[in-house]
């Protein structure tokens, strides 16, 4: 088993399938199309990770860093492999990569109907924040 950086040409079909099968925690949007992922990779390719076992992608996580704060999203593990520590391994790696860039703090979003996953993130030291999240589509 290895954690490595995502390769758009080799990995996109498998990663997309994993995201689609991961359940409601990974909400796909236009920003998950190949041309948008390519844009993301142009900025910080070292923050898009896959977990691979015997040539099969069984997990992903994406991080972003703006020079001050980070964000983590699309943590996904094959449903039948959950509970094996794979998500924790990916989170530890993405945190280390963010930390090495000088990231002070990162955020992640959890859909309200997925309260059952809050304990996982809290076990990693994340704290629930009392915030409103707003967004605006620009393109």
Q: What is the mean pLDDT of residues 64-86?
A: 94
Distance of CA 22 to the CA centre of its chain: 12
Question: What are the phi and psi torsion angles at 124 (to 5°)?
Answer: -90, 0
- Give the span between the Cα atoms of 22 and 18, in whole angstroms: 6
Query: What domains are there in the chain, each with its CATH number?
Result: 2-123 (3.40.630.30)
User: What pLDDT, in 10s, does the model give residues 126-135?
Assistant: 999 998 888 9
Q: Note the maximum CA span of the chain.
A: 41
Q: Name the nearest CA neighbour of 68 among 47, 98, 96.
A: 98
pLDDT band at 22 (very low <50, low <70, confident <90, very high): confident
**pTM for this predicted structure:** 0.92
């Amino acid at each position: 088993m290895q954690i490595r950086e995502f390769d758009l040409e080799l990995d996109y079909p498998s990663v997309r399938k994993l995201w689609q099968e991961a359940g409601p925690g990974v909400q796909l949007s236009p920003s998950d199309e190949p041309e948008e992922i390519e844009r993301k990779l142009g900025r910080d390719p070292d923050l898009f990770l896959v977990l691979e076992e015997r040539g099969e992608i069984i997990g992903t996580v994406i991080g972003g860093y703006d020079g001050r704060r980070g964000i983590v999203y699309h943590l996904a593990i094959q449903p039948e492999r959950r509970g094996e520590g794979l998500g924790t391994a990916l989170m530890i790696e993405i945190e280390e990569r963010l930390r090495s860039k000088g990231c002070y703090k990162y955020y992640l979003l959890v859909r309200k109907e997925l309260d059952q996953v809050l304990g996982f993130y809290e076990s990693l030291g994340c704290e629930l924040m009392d915030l409103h999240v707003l967004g605006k589509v620009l393109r």
